[in-house]
Structure 1
């Protein structure tokens, strides 16, 4: 049945809420760093609070997708994509936020659709249209404008932070490209829950091996921020975004997703007193325009 106008706008509102909540993650991580906590510790708290939710989801949906025949290799690939797409991507992102503004992080992370196109071209031989190629060039020009202006303001540590966030975008794009054939076998909800569980276990092991910080030594604000990041910047928006895409289509959601960097910039200005220069605002808008062109062409 064709989606009614009322349902469509309801889907748009759900998508906006999901995007804004996702965008708040970087701001809350930066707030947590103000309480002298390291990247792996705040990532651990995020996973500890979200792990039971995903376990519950995995149990609830364990018999939902009975048509596909799953073999051992499918589960091995799922573990691999859980490591790459959620553990490594999250860890690189959290480390990068130690060095750069939350608003700049979101602009760089927003590059992942262009990286998906490039990976599809290199490994799957899928063509890139001239319009997409121009949009990719436009997007990276916007990043260079924003990034270079930030280097002059904040110094060379910006390179370190940007490199880690770019690694996050690359690993997440790799997950999107590689897991496409596997998701239908498990089902979207089940696959996401399993992959997140793998990611959580990786973080638990990482923390136990490298961290000498006592898990119970943080201030109460850190635990609150860890819980809020887990619930309101991870679990809830993941389902809001999935629902929105189902209601309005992925190509329409691509337009909604364009508010992500803008909402991060606004939230960072309110809670972190981060102010972008006029040149950085221009670069950010160029990036958003390029990504929208890429996403809409891909959606078609």
Structure 2
């Protein structure tokens, strides 16, 4: 048989991009639905401490299972790993979640999502303050554009809802800062134990803390809430907490963190649309303009050269 009759092996076809894009898109929309569910639950007279307790109570078994599954066959964790997991669980999931839930009592779901979407800019600022990293003109412009968008919506909400908007905005911004601290310090731990294992363990720590917080500051009969609150909490735990974590992680594996983050820019728009159609929140020119500015600023950061980018990760 002549060598010319032997067919050359064909080059492997690249994996299609669309499954990763769909996962990133669905994950972003699911994350965004959290604020809508929280606002619906508040209509039944529940407080933030009780509501987040129910969310974490239903989420805890799923994240414990995730931590076990991701840790199969891996080396046992060292003491420094447990200390880091505890700290990251407090910052990234317990404190960030509680401040977010508390802030949603005072501001709209649309405004909350815009503040949380400042997360990449906060990571950038923390890098400058903590690690003396240098910034580029493009990054400074991105910061200015994003924060102008939030201030625009803030001023509009202040005229509609009064001084409580200040408290709500401060609480949600504190949530964004707390989660940004988690992102800044989680990189080394992720390299040691893996992203899914860290997510499962750190979130489990946060779940236990949220349940303990309820038991310490509330009487047990405070758990007697409307059935709607319980079912909304189940939906929040499964569809807006655990499922999007898995979808975004799988998306990152398929299309990379940068493209997943850019796809996640649909999050604020999906929150606004759900807020309008489900909660009856107003959609005004101020909200539209602020959203465009925030998304433009985050896009400038996401499309910057790789060496200049702040770290990205799934939004809580």
Whether TM-score is above 0.5 comes out as yes
Deviation at 1:256, TM superposition (A): 0.6
Q: Structure 1 residue aligned with 2:173, among 166, 169, 174?
A: 166
Show the counterpart of 1:262: 269
| Cα deviation code 1:53-92 (max 9, x no counterpart) | 11112222323433xx743122111101101110000000
The answer to whether residue 123 in structure 2 is matched with residue 116 in structure 1 is yes
| Cα deviation code 1:175-223 (max 9, x no counterpart) | 0001111111111111110001110111111111111252541111111
**C-alpha contact (below 8 Å) 2:50/2:223 kept by paired residues:** no
**C-alpha contact (below 8 Å) 1:3/1:247 kept by paired residues:** no
**C-alpha contact (below 8 Å) 2:20/2:250 kept by paired residues:** yes
TM-score normalised by structure 2 residue count: 0.90
After TM superposition, what 4+ stretches of structure 1 lie above 4 angstroms from structure 2? Answer: none
The answer to whether residue 96 in structure 2 is matched with residue 92 in structure 1 is no
Assess, with a 3 A threshold, how the Cα gap between structure 1 residues 2 and 246 changes in structure 2: closer, same or farther: farther
Deviation at 1:123, TM superposition (A): 0.9
Assess, with a 3 A threshold, how the Cα gap between structure 1 residues 61 and 246 changes in structure 2: closer, same or farther: closer
Assess, with a 3 A threshold, how the Cα gap between structure 1 residues 190 and 2 changes in structure 2: closer, same or farther: farther
The answer to whether residue 274 in structure 2 is matched with residue 253 in structure 1 is no
Separation in 1, partners of 2:157, 2:51: 26
The answer to whether residue 57 in structure 2 is matched with residue 48 in structure 1 is yes
Show the counterpart of 1:28: 37
Assess, with a 3 A threshold, how the Cα gap between structure 1 residues 2 and 204 changes in structure 2: closer, same or farther: farther
Assess, with a 3 A threshold, how the Cα gap between structure 1 residues 138 and 216 changes in structure 2: closer, same or farther: closer
Q: Structure 2 residue aligned with 1:127, among 123, 134, 139?
A: 134
Deviation at 1:280, TM superposition (A): 1.9
Deviation at 1:2, TM superposition (A): 6.8
**C-alpha contact (below 8 Å) 1:47/1:203 kept by paired residues:** yes
The answer to whether residue 84 in structure 2 is matched with residue 60 in structure 1 is no
Counterparts of residues 288-299 of structure 1 (less than 5 Å): 288-297=295-304, 299=306
Q: Highest CA radius of gyration, 1 or 2?
A: 2
Range that drifts further, 152-161 or 84-93 = 152-161
Unaligned runs of 5+ in 1: none
Which secondary structure state, in structure 2, belongs to the residue aligned with residue 99 of structure 1? coil
Range that drifts further, 184-193 or 57-66 = 57-66
TM-score normalised by structure 1 residue count: 0.95
Separation in 2, partners of 1:2, 1:291: 32
RMSD: 1.5
